[in-house]
Amino acid sequence: MADSPSRTPSGRLSLAAAGGPAGAPAQNRIALGPLDGRYQAATAPLVDYLSEAALNRDRVAVEVEWLIHLTRHSVLPGAGPLTPEQEEGLREIVTEFDPASVAELAEIEAVTVHDVKAVEYYIGRRLEALGIKHLTPMVHFGCTSEDINNLSYALGIKGAVEDVWLPAARALVAQVAEMARSTKDVPMLSRTHGQPATPTTLGKELAVIAHRLGRQLDRVARTEFLGKINGATGTYAAHYASVPSADWQQVAKSFVEGLGLTWNPLTTQIESHDWQAELYADMARFNRILHNVCTDIWSYISIGYFAQIPVAGATGSSTMPHKVNPIRFENAEANLEISSALLDTLGATLVTSRWQRDLTDSSSQRNIGVAFGHSLLAISNVAKGLERLDVAEEVLAADLDTNWEVLAEAIQMVMRAEAIAGVEGMDNPYERLKDLTRGHRVDAARMKEFVSGLGLSPEAEARLLALTPGTYNGIAADLVQHLG
């Protein structure tokens, strides 16, 4: 007789066992969080760097490289260099790390109740086949768990930033920059405080976005990924007690730098994580600028500056067939807020450790992938949203043509310049334009009539009469060239 379906305490059928295989389509998989369910395809590249399995693979890699480093430099008496074949065999423990390895580690950890100790035993099991079983005591030599963990996290975060997040973010900025170049001459009414203001061009405003985002990415690209391997309280006490003849600082420094990281010479039991807090602050700032982009684009869509290209077969609203909702930008807003909140929490938590060590950082760091994932998902959504936008140039032009009062700034500034040049009758220019335009709509005819009656010099009058809201945007188009 088949087992009856399990039920929750409330009596509903349990969905916990209905997740299906890992390769099943996201819609058919059941996950507690959306990054591993609905949005799994967008965040999948981060799994190779920031998942628990990736962390364990990196722990294995650090332990293996430490063993090779110690033997290659004959740091311990009696443990000279390995053969090239033995080194290659050790590194294959890392390159062949697969789901079966994850399962084996889980079985070992179920006994050790310690994740890093499980990695040590996992490697030790494989040394006999390489002919170096006698070196088993050298696995994890002189190390505290945090020596392995801090380096493993640094490697995973470095890879996630450099191979996944940063390329995606740079591609988005390049997309915005290309939009800026292609629309640099499209005039657009500005709105300061939500009110009509001195016109600009769409391309110049997009260039501002690309420039702001690009600066943050340059900061992220300069991140120092620090690491240490100096023992239980950062003093090399066990190292010197066991092998006092070695230059352990140099051994540690060369090892950390050999991993592609920056050596931190002064730590407690933990690497202080300050570099992580710095990185997360920069990423959160990028997120918040991008959030501002989303709200602005959303607003421009709402007033018709952008038209959204419908996706064939897609439903904009379940009840209003005409709608094409700006869901990509709304989705991005939510994910950017979640990511930034997590990054802020990580940055605040990780810089604090009670005395030489507490475990708050251990639990916190397990959420790094979640923070990265929500940001990466938002970047993906913004990129897709931008791809579906058309510039409604006729709407932008009509908006400009109904706001001739924005020329008031230009007229009063010309009057000031004329007054300085000695032209009579240029008194109180600001007040005169205020009386004409404040709280009033002024059309082209009324504005030209006003200009013609000011008594300007012929050259200044001709210049103002030729000016329109669509041409009053200074060198906005030229400024786009600062994007390079």
Contact 280, 371 (CB under 8 A): yes
Q: Which residues contact 34 (CB under 8 A, 6 or more apart)?
A: none
Q: For residues 169 and 286, is the Cβ–Cβ distance under 8 A?
A: yes
Give the three-state DSSP class for 190: strand
Decide: 355 and 16 in contact? Cβ < 8 Å. Answer: no
Q: Which residue(s) pair with 7 in the sheet?
A: 13
Give the count of beta carbons closer than 10 Å to the beta carbon of residue 419: 15
The structure tokens 């924005």 sit at 406
Handedness of CA 70, 72, 76, 79 (dihedral sign): positive
- Interatomic CA distance for residues 353 and 307, integer angstroms: 51
163: helix, strand or coil: helix
- Catalytic residue numbers, as ranges: 193, 317
Count of C-beta atoms within a 10 Å radius of residue 134: 11
User: Scanning the structure block, which residue is given the tokens 């997040």?
Assistant: 165
- 95-133: b (≥16 Cβ within 10 Å) or e: eebeeebeeebeebbeeeeebbebbbbbbbebbeebebe
Supply 126's token pair: 């494989």
What is the rounded distance in angstroms from the CA atom of residue 212 to the CA atom of residue 160? 22
Tokens of 54: 């990736």
